[in-house]
Structure 1
């Protein structure tokens, strides 16, 4: 048997829960990118702005850990968003080498507009699923998250 004829994955690989989760995430991310583009924003910008909104004063290194990206990736995004006037860095009150991230007024407005787009995507999904299935999906995803974090 030639090497190209061998099955590179195990039986049922395309039916795995983890593969279904990944396909769903890719589809949602693609739709976010498409719908946020007219606002001049990428999904990564929305995620970063939302994270800073949720926890004002986060440092770049901590933000990178929470988003599971490199500090360099966060620094690049922060520089871009700061250049657009959406974020500002402030000196940490006790650690002068640490800079805290905060939304500007323009950043809050941009986040509000982007969140309307994301909420519309959410409505499309939940309208299709209905209330009971939406609640069930959220519960199951929360259980998956806990299981993976506890592993």
Structure 2
């Protein structure tokens, strides 16, 4: 039996956090962010065209970001929609952000939606609202200090 009292109802089947709209791909051969077939995500093209090719800063934490980095690298530009609508690609709605801040914002949004849907109470979490989640990986020196002698 789960916290919400049912074994038939699970969070991944709740519909909470499912996007209302999907990202749009466009074809722009010759665009610096396009793949070899000339395709790219519309929101990335709009932000790149409005901000330029130069180095960017994360909107939330001011970390330096780079368009050329691998998309999963910590310094790669990720595009965030301020109003959380994936199909609203107006330049004033798009900001560059780092992977850590983008993931933290998405987790917070899903957490709030699950709270609103009654999946758990606000007391069920220890994360402070508005902060990026801390890494749970300890450094090897810190782990060595905690081991018994």
TM-score (norm 1): 0.25
Identify, as 1 or 2, the structure richer in strand: 2
Identify, as 1 or 2, the structure richer in helix: 1
TM-score (norm 2): 0.26
